[in-house]
Structure 1
């Protein structure tokens, strides 16, 4: 029987001549073209294409070029794993190789932003990741990836394992370059010392020239191999008509080498081979340490994805890759195993460690109907879980996406620093030129090395690293607190807040609303009233609606409408029913006067039943209010509840102002009526809070709240501990302090070193050591935000 090609499905007429190892087996191909394409798919980490494809691929060309390999990313089966589809646009997080400074990020953003169909491109220099959003009807992902490649960078969809492999590969190459530069530096410096201090007495000119030629031999591989990262970055910048940090460095190295080469050949003038070797060596040491430090910060969110296991066990006992799990698959999770996907417990009871999501160290009990999340740890029970989200749509993937977005959203201070850095490079080149002209006319022998010192010493690398490294570290620490950031302005606004506005139900209270009392009107029994109310409330997701979830019902409503902030209405047995606030549900709201019942059920506007609800106050609410009062902040409770319960909660917590019984529009109107000097932070959880969350200066959504609320908020609190917001405020303050320190150091260093270098007081080796050290100091200072004990220090503050 004739075999079929594993790639294209056509008959194999060449025996086993062309094979590729795919999914653990040698697969037979029909021709070299299919073999090459299949090998490319495997090499690019896209083996899952063969797991998800619904039909064989087209016959491959014999020699696929780079663009052809990139076109694999346009395949819908391949995109299932890493592309998010939303409102007609596609979004992907990319790993970008070769990004070393803010100028690189700016270059990619500028060039990609001009492409048709691209609605957003943001590059994070700390994590070497980019978020790309485009219209698939106007352009293809392969086209955009090819555009990045033509700029001199390599980009591919982000995968934690692949990026880690790329990082180790890049570090290995850096070590090779560093080793060659280090060895050459030692050899050239020995010769330079002999020439400078004439160790051998009066040195014959022939020996001096001989030492110069030997120095040239050692310095050449440094220039041609070790220094290539600087040339590549400089070439990318110049090709795009912009100026990056490596432009002055590359100019200095090339000028020094060719001037020294000329002096060696003509036997006239000074040589700077030792400076070339030292420049490159110290620069590489600085970049190497900087890369390691930035990697420490960048690995935090990527490591979250590694918590998802590679394999999952189906209820049938079959083991499959966790990434291939589909909706409604049922998986078995044993004690001590992490959950492979988001899902609902359908069998068994256990406790779950969710500390990696919420920051809460105590385990939580989970039983049938409860949600569990990928990456969290099953502690002590055997459970079966029905999958409710694929890997790319899991909560943990969403967290990583939000963290990346928060890191990419640059505060105003970061944007200013990037602009200053770009113009500063141009200023350095101009100042260096004038420096050479001045010293050439006054002291020609020293003009060249003074110019080199100016070029290198003042490179504004530290200025560009000052803000992004601090933001990356701080965002990761926010994640440890169980707080997700969705906006970049959080760090600035959180420290300026002077007015806390907070919702009641599900925020200050637990949201575990229960029915304490029922009063029925007419002939309706309590069971009938509960059945009708439960059927109507099933169309809402507010904590009040959830109070009716435990009551069975066989009632079916039609034409149900959710009137946000008021209640629900619909038809049952050709009658018009309403449930909600008395002014919404009743023709005569006066019926509800002097009643402690907050929710009313009516038919044709006449009362059928009323319900008194109770909702315990969160244990952390009092501490939150007290701490904000101690900080001199005003606290307002803004709620749609107009009952005596709202006043009781406000009085018990000592809240300054109560604004009750307001609609979503009324909540937003209240915010808009406040004086401009009041910077508000709004905390809410429901659909009715979405407008006011979007309208506040800073907004926080409870993790157990609705998706609409979370989509409108700047921050999401994953757990229920409101005091985490106090820690977040201290962390934001400390982050701003670190950013100010970084900027002060970077600017102060350049302001001090520039005049000294221009006056000739800074030797070349001092210049390069100072520039590299300045960058390392900035990154190391930012890493203070990432220390394991930083949260304890913040809480103790």
Structure 2
């Protein structure tokens, strides 16, 4: 989703108020609604309210919905949610269209179900390395599609800046729409869903591989198969490459083990070799080869560390064996002395 390609730090764009509305009142009400939210948009609204030396209005009965946050103020329902063009008056419609054409995000503040203001947000916070991630995944023959709850035109503008075709971009998707889309793709493809918010958990669980990026939320940790805690998105392409290399090494080790076992069995049945010592030695050497081959996945340093630990353990075990041997010989000698 788009949140995995951005830093999660958009900028506040513009506040457009409806007829007979005051900007300071609208901003205070919006800040009161978003006071307990951890969404990037919420943080920007609260920061703007504080910078204007305004105090958020107290809003009660705060609840999170599929498309925003809801509450009660003076007996009326108030909400801050995704803006839908055909539900807005002309002035706010024009502001929304301008924002979407520029690839900006937008939320509408409603009071008594009547839209009273439109907030826009500038998404120029692309994660460093996101462009390279897209290139690397394409080079690895991985198809990329973006699914987002943001407006279709905004998501298209953002995604095209990263080199993605607009046909692979799907906006205006609710959490359940994401789940249906992932399940549909999983019927014909191996899917990896990468998300960063609690509303991505169901889609991650529906995918063949779920990846949570930069999130410590328990819902995501339960749904995801992999957690990437860093800020570098290129880890995803490294993940794909490593998984493919791991599969290749696994097949190598299986083929080698079967081959060695088959040769040993043939050598015994054909009478070529009936020395059990040689059979055991060859088998154990094949095990060491398999271990070293697997260690290559950790790179040169991983292989070196494995060799170092191996010889350390061999040395320690050899010393311990000789000590035990001499101790047993000494005890045997003492017991045989009259």
TM above 0.5, yes or no, is yes
* CA distance in structure 2 between the aligned counterparts of 1:679 and 1:719, rounded to whole angstroms: 25
Q: Matched residues in 1 for 2:136 and 2:289: separation?
A: 35
Q: Does 1:603 align with 2:114?
A: no
Contact 1:587 1:606 in 2 (8 A): no
CA distance in 2, matches of 1:679, 1:769: 42
Q: Match for residue 653 of structure 1?
A: 162
What is the CA-CA distance between 1:770 and the residue it aligns to? 1.8
Quote how far apart the aligned CAs of 1:579 are: 0.5
Work out which of the residue numbers 545, 555, 567 in structure 1 matches 2:68.
Answer: 567
State the Cα deviation string for residues 646-701 of structure 1 (Å, max 9, x = none).
22102212223111111111111222333733222221111221221111122211
- What does the per-residue CA deviation read over 1:81-121, in whole Å, with 9 as the maximum and x for residues that have no partner? xxxxxxxxxxxxxxxxxxxxxxxxxxxxxxxxxxxxxxxxx
- 1:615-654 matched pairs, under 5 angstroms: 615=123, 616-642=125-151, 644-654=153-163
CA contact (8 A) 2:152 2:170 kept: no
Deviations 1:740-765 (A, max 9, x none): 12111211111110121234413122
Query: Which residue of 2 is the match for residue 531 of structure 1?
Result: 28
- Quick one: distance in 1 between partners of 2:120 and 2:224? 31
Give structure 1 stretches of 5+ with no counterpart. Answer: 1-502, 792-797
Question: Over the residues paired in the alignment, what is the CA RMSD in angstroms?
Answer: 2.5
Task: Name the CA distance, whole Å, in 1 between partners of 2:71 and 2:159.
Answer: 33
Checking the alignment, whether the CA contact within 8 Å between 1:577 and 1:601 is kept in structure 2 is yes
Deviation at 1:548, TM superposition (A): 2.9
Within 5 A, what are the aligned runs for 1:78-477?
A: none
Between 720-729 and 539-548, the greater mean CA deviation after superposition: 539-548
The number of equivalent residue pairs is: 285
User: Do the aligned partners of residues 705 and 650 (structure 1) sit closer, same or farther apart at CA in structure 2, a change above 3 Å counting?
Assistant: farther
Structure 1 distance, partners of 2:291, 2:160, is 48
- Does the 8 Å CA contact 1:541/1:706 hold for their aligned counterparts? no
Assess if the C-alpha contact under 8 Å between 2:89 and 2:115 holds in 1.
no
Whole-angstrom CA distance in 2 between matches of 1:525 and 1:780:
71
Q: With structure 1 as the length reference, what TM-score do the two structures score?
A: 0.34
Structure 2 CA distance for partners of 1:678 and 1:764, relative to 1, 3 Å? closer
Match of 2:176 in 1: 665
2:159 & 2:108 partners in 1: Cα distance?
23
CA pair 764-647 structure 1, distance change in 2 beyond 3 A? closer
How far apart are 1:522 and its partner, in Å?
4.0
- How far has the Cα of 1:521 moved from its partner? 2.4
**Inter-partner Cα distance in structure 1 for 2:114 and 2:270:** 91
In 2, Cα distance between equivalents of 1:590 and 1:710: 41
CA shift digits 1:539-586 (9 cap, x unpaired):
33333333334244443222222113x001111222210101124xx9
Contact 2:179–2:202 (Cα < 8 Å) also in 1: yes
Pick the aligned partner of 1:588 from 68, 78, 87: 87
1: CA distance between counterparts of 2:216 and 2:164? 22
Cα deviation for residue 789 of structure 1 reads 4.7
- Report SS of the residue matched to 2:45: coil
Change in 2 beyond 3 A, CA 1:732/1:537: same
Compute the displacement of 1:706 (Å): 4.0
CA shift for structure 1 position 640: 0.5
Q: CA deviation at 1:538?
A: 2.9
Larger Rg: 1
Whether 1:770 aligns to 2:282 is yes
* Equivalent residues of 1:685, 1:705 under 8 A apart: no
Distance 1:787 1:658, change over 3 A: closer
**Cα displacement (A) at 1:709:** 2.7
- C-alpha change, 1:714 and 1:590, in structure 2 (3 Å) is farther
Where relative contact order (Cα < 8 A, 6+ residues apart) is larger, the structure is: 2
Within 1, Cα distance between the matches of 2:175 and 2:190? Answer: 20
Distance change in 2, residues 1:677/1:776 (3 Å): same
Q: 1: distance between equivalents of 2:32 and 2:163?
A: 37
- Match runs of 1:535-550 below 5 Å: 535-550=32-47
Say whether the 8 Å CA contact 1:513–1:546 is kept in structure 2.
no
Q: Deviations over 1:415-439 (max 9, x none)?
A: xxxxxxxxxxxxxxxxxxxxxxxxx
Q: 1:548 to 1:707 in 2, by over 3 A?
A: farther
- Measured against aligned partners, the alpha-carbon deviations of 1:610-638 in whole angstroms (never above 9, x if no partner) come to 11101222222211222222333332111
The question of whether the paired residues in 1 share the 8 Å contact of 2:155 and 2:170 is answered with: no
Structure 2 CA distance for aligned equivalents of residues 703 and 675 of structure 1? 24
Kept in 2: contact 1:576–1:603 (CA 8 A): yes
Mapped to 2, the partners of 1:647 and 1:664 lie a distance apart of 19
Partner residue in 2 for 1:556 = 58
Matches within 5 A, 1:748-759: 748-759=259-270
Deviations 1:442-474 (A, max 9, x none): xxxxxxxxxxxxxxxxxxxxxxxxxxxxxxxxx
Instruction: Give the CA deviation at 1:705.
Output: 6.4
Gaps of 5+ in 2: 100-104, 304-338
Alignment partner of 1:577: what SS? strand
Note if contact 1:587-1:605 (Cα within 8 Å) is conserved in structure 2: no
Counterpart for residue 219 of structure 2: 708
Contact 2:71 2:77 in 1 (8 A): yes
Is the contact made by 2:151 and 2:172 (CA closer than 8 Å) also made in structure 1? yes
Give the Å deviation of 1:774.
Answer: 2.3
Residue number among 235, 241, 256 corresponding to 1:730 in the alignment? 241
Aligned CA distance change for structure 1 residues 525 and 651 (closer, same or farther; 3 Å): same
Matched with 2:329 is none
Q: Secondary structure at the match of 1:711?
A: helix
Q: Deviations over 1:160-194 (max 9, x none)?
A: xxxxxxxxxxxxxxxxxxxxxxxxxxxxxxxxxxx
